[in-house]
Amino acid sequence: MARKIFVNLPIKDMERSQAFFKALGFSFNPQFTNEQGACMVISEDIFTMLLVEPFFQGFTKKPIADAKKVTEVLVCLSCDSREEVDALVKKALAAGGTAPNAPQDHGFMYSHGFEDLDGHVWELVWMDPKAAPPQA
């Protein structure tokens, strides 16, 4: 059985956050989505749980980081092409996100990213395995 990953992120507004990620083309599993948490499907084995802050706080004794002020995590997603990287960033910007950094082109790897409405950083990367530097 494949291992699955669930990245849990605190959010302020459920409706607003779901609308943002739906604008990027992501879907939500209705079986695990309600007013407190939403299960965003990234792939067959990767999910992001968007949890409203009071509900998220129930899982930790630590204070919740304000992702607009501090970096708590960098979520990196692979893409099938440079065009997909740029298209997702464009959708994020149109939906109200920001692009804190310029795209980076390393030849064999191309990356760009966005901050979502709560300040979480999403890095998007495309790599050409045929052009990657050889391993030592």
CATH code of residue 79: 3.10.180.10
- Per residue in 47-87, pLDDT tens? 999 999 999 999 999 999 999 999 989 999 999 999 999 99
- pLDDT score of 133 more than 70: no
User: Is residue 136 domain-resident?
Assistant: no
pLDDT recorded at residue 53: 97
| SS3 assignment, position 131 | coil
User: Is residue 20 domain-resident?
Assistant: yes
User: Is residue 81 domain-resident?
Assistant: yes
User: Is residue 135 domain-resident?
Assistant: no
- Residues contacting residue 75 through CB under 8 Å, at least 6 positions apart: 7, 9, 48, 120, 121, 122, 123
- Amino acid code (one letter) for 63: P
User: Is residue 101 domain-resident?
Assistant: yes
Domain that holds residue 47: 5-127
CA distances from 42 to 38, 47, 106 (A): 12, 5, 25
User: Is residue 132 domain-resident?
Assistant: no
For CA atoms 36, 90, 114, 112, the dihedral sign is positive
- Per residue in 1-25, pLDDT tens? 789 999 999 999 999 999 999 999 9
pLDDT > 70: percent of the chain: 96
Question: How many domains does the chain fold into?
Answer: 1
pTM > 0.85: yes or no? yes
